[in-house]
Amino acid sequence: MRRLPIAFVMATTLLLGLTAAPSMAAPKNQPVGDRVDLREGDQDFPASTPFHIDHGFAFTIGDNTIGLSDFVLDMDGTDLTADFIRWSHLGDGLTVSELWYYNFPSGLTGIHVFTRHYFNACNNDTVPCDGNRINTPVETFTASAIVTFSP
C-alpha cells in the first residue's frame, strides 16, 4: 500500500522535471549568441559557436500594410522556420519593426549560403500585383551572403 504513493510522487517529480528542462535550457523568444548580420555580405564566423540571425521590416505607425509583410530565410536553398517574431517600437514614436529571429544554439560548421527573401503586400501602386488580388504577398527583394564557419 505504501509503495503506490511513493511511486506516484516519483512519477510526478520526473514528469515535472522533463517539462521544465527545455525552458531552462534556452530562454523562450530570446536570441542566442552574437548576431550574424547578413547585410554585411560574405563573412566569417567561429564554427560551433551559438549565433542568431534577425531581419525584417520597419513600418510607420498607421501604415495600412502592417502585418501583411513576410520574411523568409533560407540556408543552402532550404527555407528555415523562424524561432520567433518580435515587434518593437524604434524609439521615435512613429516607427515599429517586425523582425524574424533564427537561433543556432549549437552554431554551424563549413560554408553556408543564406538568402533573405522579403515579401510585401501588393497594392498596384508601389508594389505591382501582376494580376493577383490586392494585399497578396509578393517577393520584392532577395539577397544572399556566404558565411564561412571556421575553427
Q: Please tell me the total count of domains within the chain.
A: 1
54 lies in a domain?
yes
Residue 133 included in any domain: yes
Q: Which amino acid is at 33?
A: G
Whether residue 121 is contained in a domain is answered as yes
pTM score of the predicted model: 0.78
Q: Which domain does 100 fall in, by range?
A: 41-150
> In residues, how long is the chain?
151
In a domain, 35, yes or no: no
Q: State the chain's mean pLDDT as an integer.
A: 86
Q: What percent of the chain has pLDDT over 90?
A: 66
Cα separation of 30 and 101, whole Å?
Answer: 9
Asked whether residue 119 carries a pLDDT value surpassing 90, the answer given is: yes
Mean pLDDT of 14-18: 43
Tens-place pLDDT, residues 57-102: 988 887 877 788 999 999 999 999 999 999 998 888 788 899 999 9
pLDDT at 24 over 50: no
Q: Which three cell numbers stand for residue 148?
A: 564561412
Question: Residue 30: what pLDDT?
Answer: 96
Question: SS in 3 state form for the chain?
Answer: CCHHHHHHHHHHHHHHHHHHHHHHHCCCCCCCCEECCHHHCCEEEECCCCEEEEEEEEEECCCCCCCCCEEEEEECCEECCCCEEEEEECCCCCEEEEEEEEEECCCCCEEEEEEEEEEEECCCCCCCCCCCCCCCEEEEEEEEEEEEEEC
47 part of a folded domain: yes
The 3-class SS string of 129-143 reads: CCCCCCCCEEEEEEE
In this prediction, residue 15 carries a pLDDT of 44
* Within-domain flag for 10: no
CB 73 within 8 A of CB 102: yes
Binned at pLDDT 50, 70 and 90, residue 5 comes out as low
Residue 132 in domain: yes
The CATH number of the domain holding residue 72 is: 2.60.40.10
